[in-house]
Structure formats: structure tokens, C-alpha cells
Structure 1
């Protein structure tokens, strides 16, 4: 749980913000994304963590592509169901576990390493709290399709809304966490 329920107000809620506020972009200005991989502190932890984020993006895109294929008649419902169980379950379970590990293990260790942006971790934890019910809604849409009573089009709309918010969160999280690790040399 976040230390502060809504540390920034509704203008920076996950569904409304377009990026990190300037006060929390201090490190990403000093450590721009294009230089991350070449930095001496870009180690296995950062690489693994970024790969997890890439996996979440790829799964949501695959689920969207599958929904479009079903609607176009290019993917049969049985194959779609099998893929939906596999990838939909992976997305929901792995993303939930990923956020739990961040909130309870990594974020507490990163807080204080660069005190001027510690508030960013409150924002990220608040995002996690907002994403959790979205995951439940998405799981409900997937289950409705699997029970053959749900609309693939409705599932795809939910996926697109979720994908947009998830990408905003992942991008902002990367722009907080990676620069903290690069500056501090944190290795977990």
C-alpha cells in the first residue's frame, strides 16, 4: 500500500496524467533513456526488470491482435480461447506479482537513495492500487469471452484502455526506477 493514498491529486492520477511532473523528472533529465544501457550501473537487475515490462507490453499487444483476428474471422474461437487462457492469465498473474514485489521489496529499498524524488514511489504505488481493479475488470471480460457469452469486441475495448494506462505507468516507472539505480548503483 502506498504511504500516502493520493500524494499528488487527480491531475496526476494514472488515467489523466501524460507523464511525470517536472519535479520528479530531475533524474531522468540527468540520465536520459537513450544512455541507460551504456551506463556502468545498468546491470542484470535493470535488464531483467525492463524485460518484464517489455513482456507485459508484448502480451497486451498479442491479446489485442488476437481479438482483432477473431473479429476478422482469421482466428477460430477455440484457438483464441486457448491463447486467452494462457496469455490473459499470464498478464493478470505476472503483473499482479510484479507489482507486489515492487511495492514490498524493491521500492522500500530504493526510497531514500535519491531523496529528492522519493515522492515518485508514492505515485507509482498509487498506480499499482489503480491497476489492481483494472486487472480484475480485464479478467472478468476475458472470463466472459471464455464462457462464450462475452463480446470479443468489448474485451478488446477493455484491453486497449488497459494497455494505454499500463504503458503510461510502465514508462513513468522506468523513468523513476532506472535513473535511481544508475545514480545509486543499487544491485538489489
Structure 2
């Protein structure tokens, strides 16, 4: 596969994989008959990941700037960092084992997109490992919040890229073809 489509290199999916997005633009999603239920739930999960990433980044910024003391930052990092890692791993497992194979069959034009998203998940496993190492270093007092801030900022950037691309591919498929066989 083209290395330019790696998570850390791309700035979106190729137009050929956005064909259904053109039929179902984001602004129309909430009003679509197939939006309620699974699609809305899945997007809420993505919103949670975005909020957790932002919370961890802003907490690290506040600790670096002296607006949040280290014990408070550590408590929040322990809670929200663990939640992000655990929930993201589970979310990706469901997508890789169930959603992607089912959805990839619904529109063969998009199979390459599901391969890209699967590669993203493997790349994110390594990112999550680095994130966890940096978080544990702060939690155990072996490192300062500044290094974690750099790690979480980079992680958040790639997480946001992945979530947006995943939504641009998957939501239009679900809107067009429905959610049967996924719940």
C-alpha cells in the first residue's frame, strides 16, 4: 500500500474513498433515517476519545505552566489515561474483527479504505504503547509533565486524523446500506 496513506503522513482519505461522503455529507448525517442507534452511538464513542485526548493534553499543559499541581495531574492522568487506552483498544478490536469485514463487503469500491483504517489501528497500537510509557513515567515520578505533553499532543493529532477518516468512510456506508448484521 502507498506509504503516503500512512496515518502519520496523510491529510485525509483519497477522493476515490470519499465517494459515499459526497453522497452523504457530514451536515446531513443527523437527519438521515439510518443515523439513530448504532451510528449515533459509534460517533459518541469517537467524541469521547476526542474529549479524553483534549483533557489529557490540556492537563499536561496546565501542569507544565504551573496551573495544575503534579498530584492533581497524576490523578487525572491515571483515570483518563487508563480510560482512553482501554476504551480505544476495545473499540478497535470490535471494528477490526466485526465492523470492517462486514462493511467492506457492502461496497467493494471502499475495501482499500478499510485496509487503511486497519493499518491505522496497528500504528495506533505502537502510539498507545508510547503514550502509556510516557504516562507511567509521570505517574511514577520518573519524568516531568513536559515530555508527556509532547507525547500526548502528537498522539492526539494522529488520533483526530484517524477518527475523521474513519467517520468519513464508515458513516456514509452505514447511512447508505444500513446497520444490519453489526449490532
Sort the TM-score into its range (normalised by shorter chain): over 0.9
What is the distance in 1 between the residues matched to 2:15 and 2:67? 45
Matched, 1:111 2:104: yes
- Greater helix proportion: 2
Aligned partner (choices 52, 66, 77) of residue 70 of structure 2:
77
The residue correspondences of 1:48-59 to structure 2 (distance < 5 A) are 48-59=41-52
Structure 1 gap ranges (5+): 1-7
What is the distance in 2 between the residues matched to 1:60 and 1:75? 17
What is the distance in 1 between the residues matched to 2:27 and 2:111? 23
Matched, 1:18 2:11: yes
Q: Deviations over 1:163-182 (max 9, x none)?
A: 11110000000001100000
Matched, 1:136 2:133: no
Aligned partner (choices 130, 135, 148) of residue 141 of structure 2:
148
Q: Report the CA distance between 1:130 and its aligned residue.
A: 0.4
What is the distance in 2 between the residues matched to 1:77 and 1:63? 13
Structure 2 gap ranges (5+): none
Deviation beyond 3 Å, 4+ runs, structure 1: none
What is the distance in 2 between the residues matched to 1:71 and 1:165? 22
The residue correspondences of 1:20-59 to structure 2 (distance < 5 A) are 20-59=13-52
Aligned pair count reads 181
What is the distance in 1 between the residues matched to 2:147 and 2:137? 10
Q: Report the CA distance between 1:151 and its aligned residue.
A: 2.0
What is the distance in 2 between the residues matched to 1:46 and 1:34? 14
